[in-house]
Amino acid sequence: MTESDIAPVPEGRESLTLINVREGMFSGSGDTSGFGGLTKTIAMPGPSAKPYGGWFDSVVEILQELLEDTADAAIEAVVVDRGELTLRVNRDHLVEVCRHLRNDQDLRFEICLGVSGVHYPADSGAELHAVYPLLSLTHNRQMRLEVACGDDDPHIPSVCSIYPANNWHEREAYDFFGIIFDGHPGLARIQMPDDWSGHPQRKDYPLGGIPVTYKGATIPSPDTRRQYR
Amino acid sequence: MTGTHTFAAAPLGPDTDAPEFHAYGGDWSDIADEATRLGHQRIVVNMGPQHPSTHGVLRIMLEIDGETVTEARAGIGYLHTGIEKNMEYRTWTQGVTFATRMDYVAAMFNEAVYCLGVEKLLDIVDDVPERANVLRVMMQELTRIGSHLVAIGTGGNEMGATTVMTTAFLAREETFKIIEQVTGLRTNNAYIRPGGVAQDAPEDISEAVREMVGYVREKLDELAHLQLKNPIFIGRLKDVARLDLAGCMALGITGPMLRSAGLPQDLRKDQPYSGYETYDFQVPTAQGADAYDRVIVRMEECYESLKIIEQCADRLDQTAGQPVMVGDKKIAWPSQLSVGTDGQGNSLAHIADIMGTSMEALIHHFKIVTEGFPVPAGQAFATVENPKGVLGVHVVSDGGTKPWRAHFRDPGFNNLQALSMLCEGGQVADVVVAVASIDFVLGGVDR
């Protein structure tokens, strides 16, 4: 793999998600590699232009038709990357989008495979993302929805009314990321104890661990080691 | 009084003045008398987190009225180990070692789905060599049999049928022997790696596999004879813990539970991966949607898995000597493992090469082992058909050598939500049957 393959922003696609701005080749101080002045902007793949290919076009078009006037506001971007379809959905329209995706006979994404939270501290105003993988048994398809919210206003509507199975998954995303799913029937912590403070999977939450001494050498805990990048 | 097992009859809800009983061992009759004297009807029983029939550390809160369960809630998190968080601090390859420890009864699937996700991000899914795919499929099917046998065996044991358990575990042991011959370990193998598998199978493996298939098939027959026509078994399982197709769909249930409700949903057929489309096998279904039919589906799936394993053995003979890791040296692990006099480790030929002849090879080995390989920024979602249902992984890369985020959608975690629907309105004794029929492993549920 060459350096250009991991080039941060794909050309001609303005990314919606900034992951990180990196300086140098290693974390922490003491970069003696000669690349200390290097600055790299890393972003997720940006929106795609039509045609998206395969069944992606018809799904997006049908959804836009069903959403009528709100289509442009609801679907912020369509990203096709590595053969997978991602719809970036505005949180205000998430429940409506899910209802159409589940109910319409040409869409029929009957099963939502949970929700995965992702924390992008550098993506200001949209630090917290919720990713919903959808599975259609009728049409044998998979796609996903991505919804973002800011750290200062971590609210996303719950889709439990559409996909009851997301009950625990949303509790987990709340537990680990602090995303508040409005309208959830009982948004309590699920993995961590009820009185736990903080949300462990956020990037600003330390991994923890202690240095280990073995045969005279001290090995620092994993999150304090110098990181390659 | 041991003090280690605390069964609290603690009334929940609005009337907080209600009395609370704690049982330490054999004082049940005292508690029952006291409860009768006070005239309280509503009893909440806390089952677990150490109850042996809860498959790990699961806590079930049961509200009971006589012998009838009126409400059932599951409490999880007792086995949460932060695997997903830990993976963010290790290289993509080291992630396999973490992933395999989630659902430890079906470890190979965790590795497989994680590696498929990483390979999607690297865009090398089609570059994985055929022999590696055959080995992956064989390891997964062996694990599927093992997982189903644990489900059936412990399920029988929980109802008092110890022979069912011992028979199932004898058969499972044979699958482990093959897995051990190929990977070096019985469980927690870290065998499937991004780009292929950690090492090639030994030359004589296909003979051992065919021998194992015969033995396990006999044991499966034995299990079927022990259970399926047994009036006690039928009485305990038939029409217990029913969840029909509509209920399954609403709760996102997949795997044998969904197939026992009549829907032949199986990702190995629907969205094949690792070459599953080239194998001849059936997707068994049933119509009863109850605990009995789930056992039937699991039994039949074991026979189908044996069919796949036999086909794998033939293909291993045909592909002998072919590579088991992608050709891209920037991704592939530099050495194959082998068994030496001091146990399993890097192959001696490789050590001799990097230490004796090629300094560049030594540098390359050092770099890829310590630093890992970069994965282009982006996200991917991969799914496999785990013995319990659809196992998914959401992997996000920031272009670095470590995952930015890896999230596993464990089918056990999702399916455990059905516990309330399966138990409420039934008998207390059927809770154990319902829990066994879901078949989850808390290592995967809590991660």
What are the pLDDT digits (tens) for A63-83? 989 988 888 888 888 999 888
**Which residues neighbour B198 within 8 Å (Cβ) at sequence distance 6 or greater?**
B183, B190, B191, B192, B333, B336, B337
By three-state DSSP, how is residue A82 classified?
Answer: coil
In the predicted model, what is the mean pLDDT of chain B?
86
Predicted local distance difference test score (pLDDT) of residue B35? 66
User: What's the pLDDT tens digit per position in A35-61?
Assistant: 777 777 888 888 888 888 889 999 999
| Residue B24: per-residue pLDDT | 60
Q: Is residue A157 part of a domain?
A: yes
**Residue A116: predicted pLDDT:** 93
Instruction: For A87-141, write each residue's pLDDT tens digit.
Output: 999 999 999 999 999 999 999 999 999 999 999 988 888 889 999 999 999 999 9
Q: Looking at CA atoms only, how far is residue B179 from chain A in angstroms?
A: 30
Range of the domain at A101: 46-182
Is residue B19 over pLDDT 80?
no
Residue A158 and residue B421: Cα distance in Å, rounded?
21
C-alpha A179: how far from its chain's center? 12
Most confident segment among A3-12, A174-183, B428-437 = A174-183
> In the prediction, which pLDDT does B273 show?
92
Q: What is the DSSP string of A119-185?
A: E-TTSTT--EEEEEEEEETTTTEEEEEEEEE-TTS-EEE--TTT-TTHHHHHHHHHHHH--EEET-T
* CB distance B376 to B106 below 8 Å: no
For residue A118, is it within any domain?
Answer: yes
Of A42, A112, A191, the CB nearest to B446: A191
| Residue A185, preceding peptide bond in cis (omega within 30° of 0) | no
Tell me the pLDDT band of B428, cut-offs 50, 70 and 90. Answer: confident
Q: Confidence class of residue B144 from pLDDT cuts 50, 70 and 90?
A: very high
Residues B72 and B424 sit within 8 Å (Cβ to Cβ):
yes
pLDDT mean over B294-320: 93
Q: d(Cα B165, Cα A175) in Å, to the nearest integer? A: 37
For residue A144, being part of any structural domain is answered with yes
Q: Is A208 contained in some domain?
A: no
Cβ distance B390 to A5 less than 8 Å, yes or no, reads no
Task: Measure the CA–CA gap between A42 and A49, rounded to whole angstroms.
Answer: 21
Binding-face residues of A in 168-207 toward B, CB within 8 A: 168-169, 172, 189-193, 200-201, 207
- Which residues does residue B76 pair with via DSSP β-bridges, in sequence order? none
Q: Flag whether pLDDT at B167 surpasses 70.
A: yes
Residues A120 and B404: their CA atoms lie apart, in Å, by 9
What residues in A contact B380, CB-CB < 8 Å? 82, 84
| Cα A27–Cα A28–Cα A32 angle in degrees, nearest 5 | 85
Task: List all residues 6 or more positions away from B117 whose beta carbon is below 8 Å from its beta carbon.
Answer: B380, B381, B382, B393, B394, B395, B406
ipTM: 0.87
The pLDDT value recorded for residue B60 is 86
Is residue A82 a part of any domain in this protein? yes
pLDDT at B68 over 90: no
Whether A35 is covered by a domain: the verdict is: no
pTM of the model: 0.88
Which of B379, B390, B447 is the closest to A44 by Cβ?
A: B379
Quick: pLDDT tens for B331-385: 888 877 777 777 777 788 888 888 888 888 888 888 888 888 989 989 999 999 9
In a mutagenesis test of the A interface, which of B102, B257, B407 is the best target, namely the one with the most A β-carbons within 10 Å? B407
Q: List helix spans (H) across chain A.
A: 56-67, 71-74, 94-103, 166-177
- Give all strands of the β-sheet with B403-409 in edge-to-edge order: B378-386, B389-397, B403-409
Q: How far is A61 from chain B (nearest CA, A)?
A: 23
* Residue A2 scores a pLDDT above 80: no
> What would you report as the CA-atom Rg of chain B, rounded to the nearest whole angstrom?
24
> With contact defined as beta carbons under 8 Å apart, do B260 and B283 qualify?
no
pLDDT, residue B208, reads 92
Contacts of B84 in chain A (CB under 8 A): 201
* pLDDT, tens only, B106-138: 999 999 999 999 999 999 988 999 999 999 999
Does A192 sit within 8 Å of B77, measured CB to CB?
Answer: yes
Averaged pLDDT, B253-273? 92
Question: With pLDDT > 90 as the criterion, what percentage of chain A qualifies?
Answer: 44
**Rounded distance, CA B393 to CA B396, Å?**
10
Q: Are the beta carbons of B137 and B202 closer than 8 angstroms?
A: no
Is residue B138 classed exposed, middle or buried when 0-12, 13-18 and 19+ CB atoms within 10 A define those classes?
Answer: buried
Q: How confident is the model at residue B11 (pLDDT cuts 50, 70, 90)?
A: very low
Residue A205 reports pLDDT greater than 80: yes
**Residue B51: its pLDDT value, please?**
65
Find all residues with CB under 8 Å of B79, minimum gap 6, and list them: B56, B57, B442, B443, B445, B446
Q: How far is the C-alpha of A119 from the C-alpha of B430, rounded, in Å?
A: 42
User: Which residues in chain A (123-152) have CB-CB distances under 8 A to chain B?
Assistant: 131, 133, 135, 137, 140, 142, 144
**B26 pLDDT above the threshold of 70:** no
- 3-state class of B72 per DSSP? strand
β strands within B260-342, DSSP E: 337-340
Whether residue A191 lies inside any domain: the answer is no
Residues B172-190, mean pLDDT to the nearest whole number: 90
CB contact under 8 A, B396 and A118: yes
Residue B213 has pLDDT above 90, yes or no: yes
pLDDT band at residue B298, thresholds of 50, 70 and 90?
A: very high
The CATH code of the domain that includes A130 is 3.30.460.80
CA distance B96 to chain A (A): 17
Q: Is the pLDDT of residue A9 over 70?
A: no
Cβ neighbours of B402 in A, within 8 Å: 227
Question: For residue A17, what are its two tokens?
Answer: 């998600």
The alpha-carbon gap from B371 to the nearest alpha carbon of chain A, in Å, equals: 6
What's the total number of domains in chain A?
1
Segment B133-147 shows an average pLDDT of 94
> Which is more confidently placed, B64 or B316?
B316
Could B396 and A207 be called an inter-chain contact, meaning their C-beta atoms sit closer than 8 Å? no
Predicted local distance difference test score (pLDDT) of residue B315: 92
Angle at A212 between CA A209 and CA A217, to 5 degrees: 145
pLDDT band at residue A7 under the 50/70/90 scheme: very low
| Chain-chain contact of A200 with B82 (C-beta, under 8 angstroms) | yes
- Which residues in chain B have their CB less than 8 angstroms from residue A133's CB? 381, 392, 394, 409
State the CB neighbour count (10 A cutoff) for residue A19. Answer: 24
Strand residues in B387-445 grouped as ranges (E): 389-397, 403-409
Question: Position of tokens 């949970």?
Answer: A114
* B chain contacts of residue A163, beta-carbon cutoff 8 Å: 252
* Domains in chain B, CATH or no CATH each: 92-331+373-391 (1.10.645.10)
Select the more confidently predicted residue: B106 or A32: B106
pLDDT of B147 over the 80 cut: yes
Average pLDDT taken over every residue of chain A = 85
pLDDT category, B9, cuts 50, 70, 90? very low
Which DSSP symbol is given to B325? B
Residue of A nearest to B399 (CA): A6
**Spatial separation of the C-alpha atoms in residues B348 and B340, rounded to whole Å:** 8
pLDDT confidence tier of residue B219, bands split at 50, 70 and 90:
very high
For chain B, give the number of residues. Answer: 447
Cis bond upstream, residue B49 (ω within 30)? yes
Q: Is the pLDDT of residue B81 over 80?
A: yes
Closest residue in A to B418 (Cα–Cα):
A165
